[in-house]
Amino acid sequence: MSRAYNFSPGPAMLPEPVLRQAQATMLEFGDAGASILEISHRGPGFIAVAAQAEADLRTLLSIPDDYAVLFTAGGATTVQALLPLNFARPGQAADYVVSGHWGKTALKQAAPCADARIAASSEAGGFRDLPSRAAWRLSPDAAYVHVTANETIHGVEWRDIPDAGSAPLIADFSSSIASEPLDVTKFGAIYAGAQKNLGPVGITVLIVRRDLLAREGQPRAPIFDYRAQANADSMLNTPPSWNWYVLGLTVKWMLDEGGVTEFARRNARKAALLYAAIDGSGGYYRNEVAPAARSRMNVPFFLHDPALDAAFLSQAKLAGLVALKGHRVLGGMRASLYNAMPEAGVQALVDFMQEFQTRHG
């Protein structure tokens, strides 16, 4: 079997050592006599797995004790719908800084349960840049301010998210979490779907300041109450145990590789390599994002002639480079460079791009 370099935005490439370890324990986990897929989530075997995953994540991201860590089923969009239920009073304003497709999605999910307001938006410019802090119009009574740290589709990224004032800042870090050091204390809450940098699809991490959990919020079923989930160690109901297990393996792999400081170095090199190839192509390839706002994780780019897109994708696949098709919102190409993508994969893509330009230029 020959594994390709997988540039998918999610479900994304997982580290091969993690996949092999998961494969080795698929049939029998430890001395359980059964797969981890089959053992009780309330038994000591899985309780130890869950506790270790949380401890390792706290170490990886330097999460203080005054923040709870929840592992919830579903994706980031589910969290977006539950944020106002848990942290806003009925009818209370919640401010949203919209920098791309997923920022708009977060606003849409919150709208039925809060007075969701657009504090700033870069949509008029096609989401090619970030809204300047001076342009933010924050509500004095906002329950929180929401930002999307990295826009997977439009390829813009906040590297230093501005202060939000008196309201707690809540950020969707789905596609950039654990890619570089992060000061968790700047945020009231951080959440991330695991399927990009943390593990497989189907589980989400929510890191939330404990004082926010004390908010009354709005009427909601216990299963949607983050206080109840925290009190039950994320096991109010049966959790996605396999996903949680693989997430734990992925976090441990990142620690073994040197942690977020090492991945920050790797990710900076990978992004610089690809952007240099695009910018140095003489216009054959182009990225339309303002340079200061360019994402390290997701790089959308376009060929000078869209008629060549199909040939580019088919030939890239033959070269062992897959999942490069851009999102339908933008078209073109997109290369996602998450932690599991080695620099050799980006170099292979750059080499292919240069060869393709030579053949078809």
Q: Which of 95, 102, 129, 252 is catalytic?
A: 102
Give the C-alpha distances (Å, rounded to integers) separating 310 from 318, 324, 333: 13, 11, 10
Q: Which is the catalytic residue, given 56, 95, 129, 172?
A: 172
Provide the pairing of β-strand 67-73 with 203-209: antiparallel
Residue 183 annotated in active site = no
Q: Which residue has the tokens 């199909």?
A: 310
Pair 244, 57: CB distance under 8 Å: no
CA proximity to 338, closest of 1, 2, 4, 7? 7
**270 is known as an active-site residue:** no
Residue owning tokens 């190409």: 333
H or E stretch at 335: strand 333-336
Task: Give, as one character, the DSSP assignment of residue 306.
Answer: G
Residue 184's contacts (CB-CB under 8 Å, 6 or more residues apart) are: 61, 62, 63, 64, 67, 190, 207
| Secondary structure (H, E, C), 19-44 | HHHHHHCCCCCCCCCCCCCCCCCCCH
Can you tell me whether residue 200 is helix, strand or coil?
coil
Strands 285-286 and 169-172: unpaired
Clarify whether 172 is annotated catalytic: yes
> Which residue is catalytic, options 196, 225, 252, 270?
196
Q: How many whole angstroms separate alpha carbon 201 and alpha carbon 241?
A: 12
For every residue of 220-270, DSSP letters joined together read --GGG-HHHHHHTTT-SS---HHHHHHHHHHHHHHHHTTHHHHHHHHHHHH
DSSP 188: S
Instruction: Count CB-CB contacts under 10 A for residue 175.
Output: 29
Radius of gyration of the chain (CA): 21
Give me 199's structure tokens. Answer: 């593990």
Annotated catalytic sites, by residue? Answer: 102, 172, 196
